[in-house]
Amino acid sequence: MKIIGGIFRSRNFYRPEGIRPTQNMAREALFDILGPEIKNISFLDLFAGSGAMGLEAVSRGAPKVIFVEKDQKCMNVIQENLQILMPASLKPAPEIELFEKDAFATIKWMAGEKRIVDIVFMDPPYDRGMAKKALKTLEAYDILGPNSMVIIQHDQREILPSDTGRFLHFRHKKYGSSCFDIYTVKGH
């Protein structure tokens, strides 16, 4: 796999076996939506898998990126990818955090620690109804700032709500068999 844009553009990174990575075209489109604001935000990559989205955020200048992945093999690959891509001389060095934990438990923990993020990207396993569950968990626990955005990659057969108590549906895009639903925090 390759990084699409930013300082690591065209650099290869590893993908763990048995995962479904976000397609290059979809990654590029999503980061086009985020635009240059990526350089001012914290980015949470839930169900990180290979870490492709978080790595792309680092490459494009996000000052803080948090990777959450409960599978140890995937987390080892994310760590290896970071070592390969990020030179020690990178200035300013982004703040990188890795949590080898369940995504739902991490959301709850972050809320308890009063940690706030600007962008949450999640790509839960397909065919398990986890995208809706993750959205509901984010609604229940306060880890989002007033201008935050939630981006959910999910199977096209899983229909997500167009409106929730806390989030406003902003955009829906389809790429192959995957869909992306983007939500903003209501009132902002």
Query: Two tokens at 151?
Result: 């981006």
Residue 175 pLDDT: 80
Phi, psi angle pair for 28, to nearest 5° = -65, -45
Q: Which residues contact 182 (CB under 8 A, 6 or more apart)?
A: 33, 149, 150, 151, 152, 169, 170, 171, 172, 173
In the DSSP assignment, the letter for residue 128 is S
- For 39, phi then psi, to 5°, come to -75, -5
User: Both tokens of residue 91?
Assistant: 């200035």
CATH superfamily of 24-185: Vaccinia Virus protein VP39 (3.40.50.150)
Residues 35-44: tens digit of each pLDDT: 888 899 999 9
* Predicted pLDDT of residue 19: 72
pLDDT attached to residue 144: 94
The tens digit of pLDDT for each residue in 124-178 reads 988 778 888 999 999 999 999 888 999 999 888 888 888 788 898 989 888 877 8
Domain boundaries, the chain: 24-185
Q: Give the count of alpha carbons within 13 A of 53, CB side only.
A: 32
Q: Where are the alpha helices (DSSP H) in the chain?
A: 24-34, 52-59, 72-85, 103-112, 130-140
Q: Which amino acid is at 125?
A: P
- Its pTM stands at 0.92
pLDDT tens digit string along 82-134? 988 887 667 778 899 999 999 999 999 999 999 999 999 999 988 778 888 99
69 near 102, Cβ under 8 Å? no
CA distance 186 to 188: 6
Residue 188 has pLDDT above 70, yes or no: no
User: Is 43 within 8 Å of 61 (Cβ atoms)?
Assistant: no
Tens of pLDDT, residue by residue over 42-83, are: 999 999 998 999 999 999 999 999 999 999 999 999 999 998
Q: CA-to-CA distance for 71 and 59, rounded, in angstroms?
A: 24
Alpha-carbon distance of 164 to 89, in angstroms, equals 44
pLDDT of 128 reads: 78
CA 10 – CA 87 distance, rounded (Å): 15
